[in-house]
Amino acid sequence: QISDPEACDQMYESLVRIHTNFYKNKYPRLKDTTFTGVTVEDCRTILATDILKQMEDMKRGTWRRLREKFSAKKPEEDLK
């Protein structure tokens, strides 16, 4: 037994509208972008695992270069 059938009907209709993309169809977007202005395809590219691995390798490369740069200076500083 439902205590408030009218409220239940309103909730059901609301869920139906969400399920059928009522508001997406009623208010179509001019461009298919996110709130940052990036397109969906760009987001997929950025979030792809291959791209993430490449970015991590680039970061490691930078840190390795910095480590080598500073470690090379230490022996020279000891000589002075």
- Whether 59 maps to a domain, the answer reads yes
- What residue numbers bound the domain in which 67 lies? 5-72
- Whether 49 maps to a domain, the answer reads yes
Query: What is the distance between the alpha carbons of residues 43 and 33, in angstroms, rounded to a whole number?
Result: 9
Give the model's pLDDT for residue 77.
53
- Do 52 and 58 contact (CB within 8 A), yes or no? no
Give the contacts of 32 (CB within 8 A, at least 6 positions apart). Answer: 39, 40
The residue ranking higher by pLDDT, 38 or 24, is 24
- Do 40 and 34 contact (CB within 8 A), yes or no? yes
- Whether 17 maps to a domain, the answer reads yes
- Whether 58 maps to a domain, the answer reads yes
Residue 28 has pLDDT above 90, yes or no: no
For range 14-22, the mean pLDDT: 95
pTM over 0.75? The answer is no
Angle CA 67–70–76, to nearest 5: 145
Mean pLDDT for all residues in the chain: 78
Query: What is the distance between the alpha carbons of residues 28 and 42, in angstroms, rounded to a whole number?
Result: 20
pLDDT grade for 67, boundaries at 50, 70 and 90? confident
